[in-house]
Structure 1
Amino acid sequence: MNYIPEKYWSKVAQEIAKRNNGNVIAGDDEPYYEYKRQQFLKVFNQINFRGKSVLELGSGPGGNLREVLRHLPARLVGVDLSENMLQLAAQNVNNNTVELIKTDGTGIPLPDNAMDIVYSVTVLQHNTDYNMFRLYLEEMGRVAREKVILFERTEATEKGDELNIGRPISTYVEILKNKGFELVATQYLPIHVSYYVCGAIRKLFNPANRIEGEPLSKLSLFLEKATLPITRLMDPFFILKKEVTKMEFQKINQAPVAGY
């Protein structure tokens, strides 16, 4: 598979558009991802966005932007490389105060220190070309005035495939340190038992050539629904230091912001 990010995510956006209106899950539409999003939002909505200028790198269909709006930010910007994703975000956010910007893949089209908080949610892990990954992480540090907050796949050592790579936390620390940021907090989503069980179901009962966003088989959906009530009870007791990880970085020599 020749992974071309803009082409790939535009195709995923087309698959999302085929679902019911208002769907904000950027990838597979299945019970596991709905559960994963619930767990993510518990952590995400603890961030104090109120009165802040906020930018999301890779805003996708706009679900996270919609959550941030509830916190009453002073300014909210979403950037994405897919025009199709931005069109979905415009429909889902339905708010003229949100700025949606298409990036050409070479950087974030905003000045230095333009935004108080810059964040990404499972976006940098899909920048499997290291140079592109580094560029966007450096760009996040360039644009952010106070905080860079990442929800990305992490691993003890770099591993993955051409669509998704987990990197050590130290990789993020090294790059953002050069942009004047230090890591102040990490948190792992408690989803690991469900992740492995539902991942096995997805792999075993769907075609190998199915792309992200395409419908899953009825059998795999049934099995996920049947197993999730059990695995979600086990998740809090088997938290691994990997997969979706919240990494919060703060500008060095800047006092902590009230509310964090």
Structure 2
Amino acid sequence: MRRIPGFAGIAAVSFVLLYAPIVTLVVYSFNAGDSIALWEGLSLRWFAAAWANEQVQEATVRSLVVAASASAIATAVSTMAALGTTRTAPFPGSMAIYALINQPLMVPEIVTAVALLIVFAMIKISTGYSGLGYLIAAHAAFCVPFAYLPIRARLEGMDLSYEVAAADLYATPWQTFRRITLPLLSPGIVAGAMLAFVISLDDVVITEFVKSAGQDTLPTYMLGQLRRAVTPEVNAISTALLAVTVVLLSAFFVLNRQRR
């Protein structure tokens, strides 16, 4: 495809359109002035302001709690689902189960958010509970396919001979899983957990629909600030969130490369 006339130019334009706004945001997060469009010198004042902002602190802690909890649940569920769909003989309906697990990837996120809002609203009315549990459950459900895909890919690439040898040596299924399958599967599990963590940490749509009053995560806090007044403090928060996302995604790709 690189030999097609105009391909390189279109690719270059696409990358510029994609990354130029992000680079601009990062640069202006170091702006010394109050304007988001007028450069007034280099400064870390907005990073310091964001660090000292109690609302940002609360939203950050809440985001980390939700993302860590949701990714842990999603990874555990995805590991069991991957084992159930790869370490068994083919059975009728296996492709339907695979499609069902990956359904959140295909359905528009707004549809998932509205569906979760309706279900959780009924539960809130009947139980009276309105804590973070709904947000964690919603994020976990949405993150399952993101954790499932790398774990399943790891299982499909593993050599079955080790597990067969363990069974020949009279190891129980649990011993085989704990001593053979789990250690070999761990890079896929870690990669799936990191990907689920990033997806949960960055989510806005589902969070906006499911959260109760006073449960802003960092992305929804930023969205609320943009509706009021935009300052370089939002740029600084965005830059920090971008840095965390890039680090985690880089680690995810490194783990996937090691798997190959």
More helix by share: 2
> TM-score, normalising length from structure 1?
0.20
Name which structure has the greater RCO, CA cutoff 8 Å, separation 6+: 2
> TM-score, normalising length from structure 2?
0.20
